[in-house]
Copies of this chain bind each other. A is one copy, B any other.
């Protein structure tokens, strides 16, 4: 049991031991429920057939929601980024989850992420805008540039979320590359 648990990310030998002893002292019923939840979740989780986020239904609740703007698609690297934007409570469009970013260093190419699925989706549905919200890392930027080139012939408006000074940020403590981006991305008031 300790061996199995210590294979999980962020759980070392000590934590695994602590968890193991805790579980051994839990009521049998609770342990059975925990085990079933894990198996059930793993068995029923799948990719939404529209946006490819992780979900337990054929179409995720966001894609199934008729009140969302299905003509505006935000492209994110993974489901956690989707959750981050959902927490803002202000975005009303839908998403497309790539499940990764292009990274030549790690041998991840355009075919290894859900890009083909995005292109198919854009052919099948009318879309006004694709918002590229990949991370502001080297991989995220590479992916954004790649997608933008890919979408150019379609004529669909392609936008990129802003890079710049985070809200509440004091310039003095912000790295030079971000300051430079904030300057380059300045907008007219």
Which B residues touch A183, using CB under 8 A?
A: 85, 88, 90-91, 131, 133, 161
Check A174 for interface membership: any CB of B closer than 8 A: yes
Interface of A is mostly: mixed
Task: Say how many copies of this protein the assembly contains.
Answer: 2
Given A158-B189, A162-B187, A187-B185, A174 and B84 contact (CB-CB distance below 8 Å): yes
Task: Return chain B residues, CB-CB under 8 Å to A41.
Answer: none
Residue A10, interface by CB 8 Å: no
Give the size range of A's interface with the partner.
Answer: 35 or more
Q: Chain B contacts of A181 at CB under 8 A?
A: 162, 164, 167
Assess whether A11 is interfacial by the CB under 8 Å rule. no
